[in-house]
Amino acid sequence: MKEKLQQLAATLEGDFFLDNTIRTLYATDASVYREVPLAVCVPKSIADIKKIIAFASKENTSLIPRTAGTSLAGQVVGNGIVVDVSKNFTQIIELNKEEKWVRVQPGVIRDELNMFLKPHGLFFGPETSTANRAMIGGMVGNNSCGSNSVVYQSVREHLLEVKAILSDGSDAEFKALDIEEFHNKCEGSSLESDIYRSVRSILSNYENQVEIRKEFPKKTIERRNTGYAVDLLLESAPFSAGAVDFNFCKLIAGSEGTLAFLTEIKLNVVPLPPEEVGLLCVHFNTIDESLRANLIALRYNPSACELIDHYILECTKENKEQSRNRFFVQGDPGAILVVEISRETREEVQQVCNNIEADMRAAKLGYHYPVLFGKDTKKYGH
Ligand SMILES: Cc1cc2nc3c(=O)[nH]c(=O)nc-3n(C[C@H](O)[C@H](O)[C@H](O)COP(=O)(O)OP(=O)(O)OC[C@H]3O[C@@H](n4cnc5c(N)ncnc54)[C@H](O)[C@@H]3O)c2cc1C
């Protein structure tokens, strides 16, 4: 195998590593899992990616697409070839301000995308705590979402189109299709047509429909961000009358690099939220109290809500760096609920925080209600 890998390396424009040091560096992500890959590739072009796919297919090994590698559940750990697109696939290709979308390569960092969008009054909503390094390819793979998901949901809701390479090396473009376009895609002999035909046959089957509707999470669970969203494909035309157009992107978001190798991603972007932001950091004696108080906070249209539990707070006590960021913590809370309020002026933010505090006090929830503004907001969560 080593010889075959060396032969492959010689045909690539990008870098290809077989040495132990690099393979060991790529044996982990941010999870506890560790598995040394067969090789690591840093492709320079789409042609490189196609060559690696052809090799993996012929040699019956796997590929692990990777961007920033910050996954928490071993998503980029495996014994195949790790393909790192964080170095050479970093272009923001096109912005359409009128239609509010942006087209990027998978190695664009989420916060850098938003720095680019800011002068245009736009931003990409879904976030993660790792947004200053997490990349769009990985965010699509994990269907990422963070504390602002109460407003902006997850990547899936903003993923419009992708360009991808399939397991036979063929190009595919996945996007919204009306019923006629969907049936047209099912014609032909390509792998892409095969995929459309298979899905049509699976989702047209009545027993499958019943099973999917019965077993998938309830629609009322909004933040259901893992697994293959087959139920959402079923909720689109032609499988549900009068429903939204079929779009394979619903399935690709959250598929953790298992369905296709993404090379371009088209995302919906939204107007920037109001500038003034305040964090109401409500202290509770128990987590149970904080969960009930969250229902009150949600009535005030927060832009984000996040819970810091007792365990996290404990970890910050002995940590030199983090202990400085505890300046707003009073006593020994069992939980702190951080409610982010965004409005046009600081006075408006303060007023909303006062109202939330009054409602929580009336419900006997919480014991301390500091509000952080400006630079202090950056200290929490870091
Ligand atoms: C401290 C900490 C906090 C975190 N908080 C959050 C959070 O709030 N919300 C959240 O959602 N996640 C969170 N995460 C997990 C992770 O940071 C995010 O999911 C992030 O979006 C992953 O991005 P990445 O670039 O690191 O992706 P990677 O880890 O490199 O990859 C993620 C997945 O995407 C696939 N992928 C990458 N590129 C491609 C491509 N070109 N084609 C096909 N598939 C591809 C990979 O194969 C993998 O399955 C957190 C992680 C840490 C360490």
10-68 residue pLDDT tens? 999 999 999 999 999 999 999 999 999 999 999 999 999 999 999 999 999 999 999 99
Instruction: Locate CATH 3.30.70.2190 in the chain.
Output: 276-379
Q: CA–CA distance from 90 to each of 129, 170, 309 (Å)?
A: 20, 22, 36
Cβ 68 under 6 angstroms from ligand 1: yes
Question: What pLDDT, on a 0 to 100 scale, did the predictor assign at position 232?
Answer: 93
Which fold, 276-379?
Answer: Alpha-Beta Plaits (3.30.70)
What residue spans in the chain does CATH classification 3.30.465.10 cover? 92-270
Q: Residue 147's pLDDT band (boundaries 50, 70, 90)?
A: confident
**Centroid of ligand 1 to alpha carbon of 70 (angstroms):** 5
Which pair of structure tokens corresponds to residue 327?
């300046």
Q: How far apart are CA 211 and CA 131, in angstroms?
A: 37
Reported confidence tier of residue 321, pLDDT bands at 50, 70, 90 = confident
- Separation in Å, CA 308 to CA 183, 334, 339, 369: 49, 9, 11, 14
Mean model confidence pLDDT for the chain? 95
CA of 137 from ligand 1 middle (Å) equals: 8
Q: Give the CATH number of domain 92-270; options: 3.30.465.10, 3.40.50.150, 3.40.50.720, 3.40.50.300.
A: 3.30.465.10
Q: Which CATH architecture has domain 2-84?
A: 2-Layer Sandwich (3.30)
What lies within 8 Å, CB to CB, of 86 at 6+ separation is 66, 67, 68, 69, 107, 135
Q: Longest Cα pair distance anywhere in the chain, in angstroms?
A: 73
* Residue 129 Cβ contacting ligand 1 at under 6 Å: yes
- The answer to whether residue 221 scores a pLDDT higher than 90 is no
Q: Is the CB of 43 under 6 A from ligand 1?
A: no
Contact between 63 and 261 (Cβ < 8 Å):
yes
User: Does the structure show a pLDDT above 90 at 324?
Assistant: no
**Reported pTM:** 0.91
Predicted confidence at residue 350, as pLDDT, reads 97
Give span(s): CATH 3.30.43.10, the chain: 2-84
Q: For the chain, what percent of residues have pLDDT higher than 70?
A: 99
Pairing of strands 81-84, 39-42: parallel
